[in-house]
Amino acid sequence: MAKADQQSFDAVIVGAGFSGLYMLHKLRQLGLTARVYEAGDGVGGTWYWNRYPGARVDVESQEYSYSFDEALQDEWVWTERYSTQPELLRYINHVADRFDLRRDVQLETRVQAAKYDEASALWTVSTDRGEVVSARYCIMATGCLSVPNEPNFPGQDQFKGPTYHTGRWPHEGVDFTGKRVAVIGTGSSAIQSIPQIAAQAEQIYVLQRTPNYSVPAHNAPIDPAALADWNANRAARRQAQRASVSGIYAADPTEILAMEVSAEERQARYEERWAKGGFCIGATFADMGIDKAANDTAAAFVADKIRSMVKDPKVAEALVPKDYPFGAKRLCVDTGYYETFNRGNVSLIDLNASPLDRITAKGVQVDGEEIAVDAIVFAIGFDAMTGALSRIHIHGKGGQALSEVWEAGPRSYLGLMVAGFPNLFTVTGPGSPSVLSNMLVSIEQHVEWISDCIGHLQDRQLASIEAMPDAQDAWVDHVNEVANMTLHVQASSWYLGANIPGKPRVFMPYIGGVGLYREKCDDVAAKGYEGFALKSAATVG
């Protein structure tokens, strides 16, 4: 029960990234009070934290931006095809100012616990500053890739030089001039930063456990003609994004099956998309994600590209993924990644052939040999999708802890709400398209659905909404069923929690596509929030 002197809001929002800020804007439009808590000392979420060299979005800039406000879209002009982290951070700060959002955002404050009181249907939220506030609604806008995978290598505390995690890069930047640097990891963050670090450092050692598929971004200053075309057709393009599979207009999916066309035509189609750059190659054929034979053709195409770009055949071979389907791990989009291995100051260390024994005072020891370095970069990823939620003590009805309810993996109805946790919403939570899509499209869809839902409750003076266990079970079954139809489950990826020792192996995002998913969410709402229990003040408790 909220204490009489406790500060109260209609809603508490956790996180001031793209989700949390838009959520605040929408709730204000409903006339509600909200407080946003943000651990960082600035807004921006992902783009606040990920400042490693080369960090940039890999969805085209105009697509990776808010669509909810026409004037905002008119006035903001991106400078590059794929925006850099500093430009994205400027954009989100501009949005915060333009919509006067900062006065309800409390920075440098980490939410530690959220506890639901059944009698009052209120959440009590406590922070690391000792504040305790109450709110009818608690919205977790905590991000999917916001908790770094903490390095846990033998001997790492003995290392005398500086270490950096790509997901927590120093704000003042790092000068690697004249330094010998080890980079551990070869995911998207590494693939973006390695060419930049290599251009500066004296020597760089890339420690690779699993090679990734990466395709060229072909980044450039934004093409005025392409921008004019986008703006002239913006409403239709935005609609196409929302109705699509990935939320990316440029993905341009086809209905053609890889095995239906000749080998020459297949090659030509892959070449065309390789030349365009970015994710579109992943949508060349409709069956690439479900038919191994079709997928093998894409894998072989990219493998040949790697072999053609990397001069040393042994290095090239080590960079070619061998044991999982193309696209089953998150596809990377790079600028000069493979070519970087042709530089004299770049060494690839294949950890499968030469295991990382330990970190020493002077460097890294692989297969019994010590390699002296001045700095180590951990590009080892995140405790994805559930990491941020599992670090907040969330207790729902009957005092049950979310961490216990999710012990065997996350369970959620539509990735929006969890049975037993009324009025607690998760933006782009597990069970929604989320990380498999253009995050901006999925964030806007979730924020709008949640604010409509809250508006529905407010209009009817209802006290709470809660996912019903049967509806949640059916949705979780569906999420798993669809995932199991794809090749995605054949890779040990962070989508499955496979990168975190001990994490349950469950395919977390919904792979049915943002368009179909949106229809489902809209249908649920149109049917009076089918699968949810809505309660009036008289019946809560």
Is 185 an interacting residue with respect to ligand NAP (CB under 6 A)? yes
Beta strands in 299-352 (DSSP E): 332-334, 346-350
Binding ligand NAP (rule: CB under 6 A), the pick from 11, 21, 57, 392 is 57
Is 209 an interacting residue with respect to ligand NAP (CB under 6 A)? yes
Going from the C-alpha of 144 to that of each of 96, 282, 531, the distances in angstroms are 21, 22, 25
Binding ligand NAP (rule: CB under 6 A), the pick from 12, 21, 114, 190 is 190
Binding ligand NAP (rule: CB under 6 A), the pick from 42, 44, 143, 187 is 187
Q: Are 114 and 394 in contact (CB under 8 A)?
A: yes
Q: Are 93 and 44 in contact (CB under 8 A)?
A: yes
Binding ligand NAP (rule: CB under 6 A), the pick from 188, 244, 284, 390 is 188
Q: Provide the 10 A C-beta neighbour count for residue 263.
A: 8
Q: What angle do CA 127, 133, 139 make, to 5 degrees?
A: 80
Question: Smallest Cα–Cα separation from 328: which of 512, 479, 185, 493?
Answer: 493
Which listed range, 182-190, 262-270, 398-406, 465-473, lies at the site for ligand NAP (CB under 6 A)? Answer: 182-190
Is 145 an interacting residue with respect to ligand NAP (CB under 6 A)? yes
Residues 415-454 that bind ligand NAP (CB under 6 A): 435
Q: Are 507 and 480 in contact (CB under 8 A)?
A: yes
Q: Which residues contact 168 (CB under 8 A, 6 or more apart)?
A: 49, 148
Going from the C-alpha of 249 to that of each of 35, 234, 508, 514, the distances in angstroms are 34, 11, 24, 12
Q: Which residues contact 344 (CB under 8 A, 6 or more apart)?
A: none
**φ and ψ of 214, to 5 deg:** -135, 145
Distance in Å, CB of 137 to ligand NAP, minimum: 28
Q: Which residues contact 300 (CB under 8 A, 6 or more apart)?
A: none
Which CB, 133 or 346, lies closer to ligand NAP?
346
Q: Are 333 and 57 in contact (CB under 8 A)?
A: no
Which CB, 25 or 56, lies closer to ligand NAP?
56
Binding ligand NAP (rule: CB under 6 A), the pick from 83, 166, 244, 428 is 166
Is 381 an interacting residue with respect to ligand NAP (CB under 6 A)? yes
Which CB, 351 or 372, lies closer to ligand NAP?
351
Q: Are 209 and 351 in contact (CB under 8 A)?
A: yes
Which CB, 145 or 476, lies closer to ligand NAP?
145
Amino acid at 288: M
Distance in Å, CB of 409 to ligand NAP, minimum: 18
Question: Smallest Cα–Cα separation from 177: which of 197, 161, 200?
Answer: 200
Which CB, 212 or 295, lies closer to ligand NAP?
212
Which CB, 83 or 284, lies closer to ligand NAP?
83
Beta strands in 170-324 (DSSP E): 180-184, 203-208, 214-216
Residues 459-518 that bind ligand NAP (CB under 6 A): 494, 499
Number of chain positions touching ligand NAP (CB under 6 A): 24
Is 192 an interacting residue with respect to ligand NAP (CB under 6 A)? yes
Comparing every residue's Cβ against ligand NAP, the nearest one is: 187
Distance in Å, CB of 58 to ligand NAP, minimum: 4
Which CB, 349 or 471, lies closer to ligand NAP?
349
Q: Which residues contact 446 (CB under 8 A, 6 or more apart)?
A: 19, 415, 416, 427, 428, 432
Which CB, 34 or 364, lies closer to ligand NAP?
364
d(CA 458, CA 460): 5
Distance in Å, CB of 210 to ligand NAP, minimum: 3
Distance in Å, CB of 445 to ligand NAP, minimum: 18
Distance in Å, CB of 420 to ligand NAP, minimum: 29
Which CB, 37 or 495, lies closer to ligand NAP?
495
Q: Is 20 exposed, middle or buried (CB count within 10 Å of its CB: 0-12, 13-18, 19+)? A: buried
Binding ligand NAP (rule: CB under 6 A), the pick from 35, 165, 238, 330 is 330
CA atoms within 13 A on the CB side of 369: 7
Binding mask 8-37 for ligand NAP (x = CB under 6 A): ------------------------------
Which CB, 136 or 329, lies closer to ligand NAP?
329
Which listed range, 29-37, 52-60, 250-258, 290-298, lies at the site for ligand NAP (CB under 6 A)? Answer: 52-60
**Interacting residues toward ligand NAP by CB under 6 A:** 56-58, 145, 166, 184-190, 192, 209-210, 330, 351, 379-382, 435, 494, 499
